[in-house]
Amino acid sequence: MARWEPNAGQRLASAALTLFAERGYDATTVNDISERAGLTKSTFFRHCNDKREVLFLGQDGMTARLAEAVHASTPETPPADVLAAVLDAIGTFFPEEIRAAATMRATVVAAHAELRERELLKGAELSSAIENAVRKQGRGETAARFLSALGLLALDITYHRWIADPDERSYRDHAAETLDELVAQASELPGPADTTRTTSGRSPG
């Protein structure tokens, strides 16, 4: 029977992040990560398929939390409130004590194409979680795609503002600010009547 290792996933992610920052992604091996974490190579592969995956441990928990947040609303819940619930759900994954590690992680991911590609795939999974949850509520295809796209945008903006904030405001402060900005931007979109007037008033040629 395999020996249980407490916090193995967290230890592997921390070790990998440190090594990627010190040596670079390409120069770091699975053996290096396992040794730095004080774990065996077999333990590594029980948690990750490859070294590209190690910085994304915990993603399944985020995906599940997003779906739960949407399901907790009703089909009548205003879209802004659904987005607020999505941001609040993800906020639990970003307490203040991990801000420095999150900032280092973002720098490492941005510097390596394989990690950027994996980041995009993980983002697509988060978007799909929102879309599928909204669709199951019966809101319709347009609403599902709209909320998933806007939800992913809100998550991305909030996260990057949080890690770059010199004043170290909380993730939830940034989430509230981002949501307010997105709602304000959406409210400025012209309605059908405005679009009709603009089109009809356009001079030919």
**Long-range contacts at 71-76 (CB < 8 A, ≥ 24 apart):** 71/133, 71/136, 71/137, 73/137, 74/137, 75/137, 75/138, 75/139
Q: Which of 84-93, 132-141, 188-197 has the lowest mean pLDDT?
A: 188-197
The answer on pLDDT for 205 being more than 50 is no
Average pLDDT in the 94-114 region?
A: 93
- The reported pTM is 0.84
Average pLDDT in the 159-179 region?
A: 96
pLDDT of residue 194: 56
